[in-house]
Amino acid sequence: MAISTSIWIWISALLTLAIYSFLYKDNPFYKFAEYLLVGISIGYGISVYWHNTIITKVYNPLVHDKDFLVIIPLLLGLLMFSRFFKNYSHLSRIPIAFIVGAGTGLSIPSSFEFLFKQVQGTMPTAFTIGNLIIIIGVITTLIYFFFSMEHKGFIGKVSRVGITFIMIAFGAAFGYTIMARISLFIGRIQFLLSDWLGIIK
């Protein structure tokens, strides 16, 4: 294997290095890459919204299917722009209220279902030390999140056990995330050493 001849690989490699240069210190190369990323990610977002929303959800239903109900969200969306006119800026609250209202309405039932699944999963189907630990862990953690009682005396001790459980969980999550992030760095190094420079097989 030898050094890559593909212009695209070179672009990727140079941009990768430009971002790593930030580890040394902030510099024009990093700044260039940073701003470039902002620019192209917005450009990408516009394109995706254009094809997946504007065309498929607004233009096609309106023009091809003659579904005039689409005009309502269209107007709601346009109301967002009232923000640019001082006297009418409050109108933009209506589309926001719509998104928030419908969003919370959609989330409440699934939150409950999720809750049930968690409680159900905690039930000890077999009597083992492990299951006992799970029940104790869940209950003490919940008691840590008690707000209408002061954490003193018995409650205080129980919530101490709860926070210990929380810390063990955080430790495990931390360990696993270290592993994943190092894998990502390994991935970039492989790209640089192999796809670009061709040093390793």
Q: Site residues for other proteins, window 135-194 (CB under 8 A)?
A: 135-151, 162-191, 193-194
Residue (64 or 201) nearer to other proteins, CB = 201
CA angle 51, 55, 60 (to 5 degrees): 150
| Near other proteins by CB under 8 A: residue from 65, 120, 153, 154 | 120
Six token digits for residue 37: 């990323």
Length of the chain as a residue count: 201
For 197, phi then psi, to 5°, come to: -85, -25
From the CB of 154, what's the least distance to other proteins, in Å?
A: 14
Residue (3 or 72) nearer to other proteins, CB = 72
Q: Does 37 bind other proteins (CB under 8 A)?
A: yes
Q: Does 63 bind other proteins (CB under 8 A)?
A: no
Residue (63 or 187) nearer to other proteins, CB = 187
| Near other proteins by CB under 8 A: residue from 3, 27, 63, 112 | 112
From the CB of 45, what's the least distance to other proteins, in Å?
A: 6
- CA–CA distance, 131 with 108 (Å, rounded to integer): 29
- CA–CA distance, 157 with 146 (Å, rounded to integer): 13
Buried b (16+ CB within 10 A) or exposed e, 170-184: eeeeeeeeeeeeeee
Q: Does 121 bind other proteins (CB under 8 A)?
A: yes
Q: Does 27 bind other proteins (CB under 8 A)?
A: no
Q: Does 93 bind other proteins (CB under 8 A)?
A: yes
From the CB of 75, what's the least distance to other proteins, in Å?
A: 10
Q: Does 68 bind other proteins (CB under 8 A)?
A: no
Q: Does 3 bind other proteins (CB under 8 A)?
A: no
Listed in sequence order, the residues at least 6 apart from 166 whose beta carbon sits closer than 8 Å to its beta carbon are 141, 144
Please report, as residue ranges, which positions from 71 to 90 form the binding site for other proteins (by CB under 8 A): 72-74, 76-78, 80-81, 83, 90
Listed in sequence order, the residues at least 6 apart from 30 whose beta carbon sits closer than 8 Å to its beta carbon are 18, 19, 21, 22
| Near other proteins by CB under 8 A: residue from 3, 27, 68, 96 | 96
Q: Does 36 bind other proteins (CB under 8 A)?
A: yes
Q: Is the dihedral of CA 16, 20, 26, 27 positive or negative?
A: negative
Long-range pairs of 77-86 with CB within 8 A, sequence gap ≥ 24? none
